[in-house]
Structure 1
Amino acid sequence: MTYAAAVPAAAYDPGVQLLLVEDDAGVAAALVETLEGAGWGVTHCRRGDDGLHQVAGADLVVLDLGLPDMDGLDFLRTLRRASTVPVLVLTARDGDGATVLGLRAGADDYLVKPVGQAVLVARVHALLRRSRVEDTAREGAATLAWGGLALDLGARRATRDGAEVALTATELDVLEALAAQPGEAVSREAVQLHVWGTPALGRSRSLDFFVASLRSKLGPDLPLHTVRGFGYRLGG
């Protein structure tokens, strides 16, 4: 399988970082060459668990479903509880059934190997363009307030009745992750991805500790609700 660079780098998106999760070294090397040739930075991981620890800085994920440590569909399901980053599945699993399973698990696009390099690059570019429009639409206010409590997201500063509340950097990160979607349920995995760079469940007890600490420090003005079996909701 050959994926030679097909499009000049200047035609696409400088500064974009892709995450490639692919266990076959030869295929991965060819894909990295093609994607870097189109002007994107690429981080490569062989294992799904490693990919989950690298996804925080990615603008798009290119995912093979046949991974050595987990099924790619499980990777997708875990990622989708934490992030809306675009995912392009690139796999040998063919047929309508496999495609439907991949899309239902959270893929934004699905390609079956082998695929022409120009098609691959064009599909990645289309997903990045769509993601950029959605990110712009989600931009919102930088300050939130509930009763005597105010949170300035830009300054990373919380005050109660005008006096600053001493929060640690991690407490601010947790609060910021929840405040980015006021009134909406935010999954535990999404908070963990924002704070620690991975949606993996190993941080669950740490997250419980910091949520309890926020409730203690900020008091009853903080409408931080537990959403059973999912995560938390700030406000609403």
Structure 2
Amino acid sequence: MAGSFTDEGIVLRRVNYAEADRVLTVLTREHGKVGVIVRGVRRAGSRMAAQTDLFERSRMQLAEGRGELLVLAQAQRASGPPSGLAGDPRRSACAAVIAELTDRVLEGHHPDPDVYALVAGSLDELGDPGRDPRRALVWFGRQMIDRLGYGPQLERCASCSRPLVEAAAVFSAAGGGLLCPDCRPGDPGAIACSVRAIKVLRVAAAGDAATWGRLRLDPETLATLEAIIERELEHHLDRRLRSWEVLRALER
């Protein structure tokens, strides 16, 4: 087929279109983020319905259409849907945060294999019923924020630049990192961090996936790190992610 190519892609977003079609936002490995229309997928018995579910990863044959949207000609699952994801509202909400953030910060048609691997790996980890889904969410959020160029100051006070001693501190998204006790009053809304949370935050910021995977993360530390990531994203994107509001509602 002229003007067609095959690539692996992850469905980030989908919108119903016309009588039976659906428009997808797909992150592909080799072509970046693209818009795709799937003809007739909402009709009963469509052979491509399962392959185009949210967060599904498939090998897709895509053809150039008349407009900006590509047309999905064929699709075959590259992997099954993450185990435990579809039937778990909290894990699905975490996956939605990952998908929305990816869609928000990536421009179309700019391939980044490292980001693709990060998204795919994070969604796979979310499907592991033996792990707290916040592990994947925190790791993904930290790596994406750093890729945007907003890596926080974690070794020195973000305000006065004095080296931080090994002690509890607070994290200020507006201030750009950890604050020492003297500078803490400068941000009344800063998030309190235990010594343990600071150490784990530094591992995540270093991008050390192997060490991160071996860490035992207690619920309190994960809650602190999740709050930090959420606050940073809200500050740097200048708005809250809708999917994170859904996640918060589920956690109440």
Q: Which TM bucket (shorter chain)?
A: under 0.3
Q: TM-score, normalised by structure 1?
A: 0.26
TM-score normalised by length of structure 2: 0.25
**More helix per residue:** 1
